[in-house]
Amino acid sequence: MRPLIWFRSDLRVDDNTALSNATRSADDGAVALFVISPAEWKAHDYAPARIDLMLRSLAELSRSLDALGIPLLIRAAPTPEQVAATVVKACIDSRCDAVFFNREYEVNEQRRDRAVIDALRAKNIHASPWHDQVVMEPGSLRTGAGNVYTVFTPFKRAWIRLAGEQGGVEPRPSPRKVASCDVRPDPVPESVAGFECPRAVSTLWTAGEKHARTRLTSFIEERGRAYKDRRDIPSVDGTSGLSPHLAIGTISPRRCIAAAVAANAATKSPLDAGSEGLVTWISELIWREFYVHIVSGFPRVCMHKAFQQGTDAIRWNDDEAKFRAWTSGRTGIPIVDAGMRQLAATGWMHNRVRMITAMFLSKNLFIDWRRGERHFMTNLVDGFLASNNGGWQWSASTGTDAAPYFRIFNPVSQGERFDPDGVYVRRWVPELSSLGAEAIHDPSSLSPLALARLDYPMPVVDLGRSRLAAIEAFKKLRPA
């Protein structure tokens, strides 16, 4: 057998289910394939920063595969509908008789993969899809009634219970080196038209699985145990920074969880007891799993639909000026503006600030959460549909969140709590750098003369009144 391994969002050699199994099946060499599909990427709102990181990681992957005797082919599919024919042709040209790939769970990806499987079967080529993107395969966890979990806490309990029954979380075996074949690798392009990334953003993100593994090790050893206490402070490096690598698959969730468990080995229940920092980080990884299961079980969330279908009746504000104030970081709310400017400058935003900015758009400005979801995806280096959609619907109270719809963050209070000295705000909103901690999160409280000296707008909305208006709008959706 000569298998073809079709890479997508799994750009690594380590702990790669399809690759590991393909090399164990190969007795006549193996070939790898990556399909450049700009129209598909545009339809998915992928950010230039994400594509840039992906291409640079793909170049490293090509070198790692070469060391295993596997050439990497680069092919282009002008439209999503041409992906199937592209994969089949690459398989035939390389004289491969099977295609191994790791499943993706978004609705368009599942349709694409079904089309590929059908096209391969028509040519008598074996299709071998594998579960890899999350630890627990969608469908493997069900409620007592046999339904998909729609609340995180019972999902997490079931996830941990199943992990225990399976003997823990173990990475896949390393791939084997295969016999060389007569297929030559293709060069990886440095860029793709329509996804050019500014160098100032590109240089912020080191590519490849080797860096991802190094960052995982340093996080676990240096910051993991303090994660619970520091993860919500946007001015410090308290998070793992691995979300871009999880998004494109230069590291696996299994490898991350296994590393956290190994560091937390002193406890009998390392997934949910012991170091509060490590188990909190594991919980965040399980949140990612939860949202993938939601995407798989409720495809409508991939199609611009609310998880809570009744909220589709909400009439959102169509205020373009306020939306542009939000995207440009000129709302007059410092913590919101700092987050939006960080996103524009770096392709990333601290997770606590993502929640603050998302809730401000959807609750205070009462602008459709889908507009914010798309803006994030088109800018985020770690854009991942399941997590981004889940986070936005959580913030807008249209998603799976079990908390009441009237839970609305006050962004001023959030800034005072998580950035008490204003370090984060001063970095990204430098026109406020002269203000003391007592005023930096609410400069509108200054005297008119002091405010006039700042090149900073007044708030675009009254926080108190807009909060009450949002609550009233949600109340109308509920029966008396």
- Same domain for 423 and 345? yes
The parent domain of residue 423 ranges over 309-475
Chain-centroid distance of CA 337 in Å reads: 22
The residue out of 298, 332, 363 marking a domain boundary is 298
Greatest C-alpha distance within the chain: 79
- Same domain for 79 and 228? no
Q: How would you classify the pairing of strands 3-7 and 31-36?
A: parallel
The residue out of 263, 298, 333 marking a domain boundary is 298
- Same domain for 208 and 271? yes
Q: Classify 325 in phi/psi space as left (phi over 0), alpha (psi -120 to 50) or beta.
A: alpha
| Average pLDDT value for residue range 55-79 | 97
Q: Is residue 321 in some structural domain?
A: yes
- Same domain for 291 and 362? no
Q: Is 428 known to be catalytic?
A: no
Average pLDDT, the chain: 96
- Identify whether the C-beta of residue 80 lies closer than 8 Å to the C-beta of residue 39: yes
Q: Is 351 known to be catalytic?
A: yes
**Does position 402 have pLDDT exceeding 80, yes or no?**
no
Q: Is residue 109 in some structural domain?
A: yes
Look up the CATH number of the domain holding residue 164. Answer: 1.25.40.80
Q: Is residue 145 in some structural domain?
A: no
Q: Is 369 known to be catalytic?
A: yes
Catalytic residue among 108, 137, 170, 316: 316
Q: Is residue 211 in some structural domain?
A: yes
Catalytic residue among 284, 317, 416, 431: 284
SS (H, E, C) 171-231: CCCCCCCCCCCCCCCCCCCCCCCCCCCCHHHHCCCCCCHHHHHHHHHHHHHHHHHHHHHHC
Q: Is residue 431 in some structural domain?
A: yes
319-370: pLDDT as tens digits: 999 999 999 999 999 999 999 999 999 999 999 999 999 999 999 999 999 9
14: which 2 tokens?
């380590």
Look up the CATH number of the domain holding residue 35. Answer: 3.40.50.620
275-334: pLDDT as tens digits: 999 999 999 999 999 999 999 999 999 999 999 999 999 999 999 999 999 999 999 999
Q: Is residue 177 in some structural domain?
A: no
Residue 35, pLDDT score: 98
- Same domain for 360 and 273? no
Distance CA 384, CA 373 (A): 11
For 299, the enclosing helix (H) or strand (E) is: none
Catalytic residue among 287, 326, 348, 394: 287
- Same domain for 315 and 275? no
Q: Is residue 266 in some structural domain?
A: yes
Chain-centroid distance of CA 52 in Å reads: 16
Catalytic residue among 6, 41, 348, 369: 369
258-281: pLDDT as tens digits: 999 999 987 788 999 999 999 999
Q: Is 284 known to be catalytic?
A: yes
- Same domain for 266 and 288? yes
Site of tokens 């190994």:
262
Residue 478, pLDDT score: 72
Q: Is residue 147 in some structural domain?
A: no
- Same domain for 79 and 55? yes
169-212: pLDDT as tens digits: 999 999 999 999 999 999 999 999 999 999 999 999 999 999 99
- Same domain for 265 and 360? no
- Same domain for 281 and 316? no
- Same domain for 26 and 118? yes
- Same domain for 470 and 323? yes
Q: How many domains does the chain have?
A: 3
Calculate helix-pair angle for 276-297, 253-263, nearest 10 degrees. 160
Please give the C-alpha separations between residue 189 and each of 54, 74, 122, 312, 478, in angstroms, as whole numbers.
Answer: 11, 9, 31, 42, 53
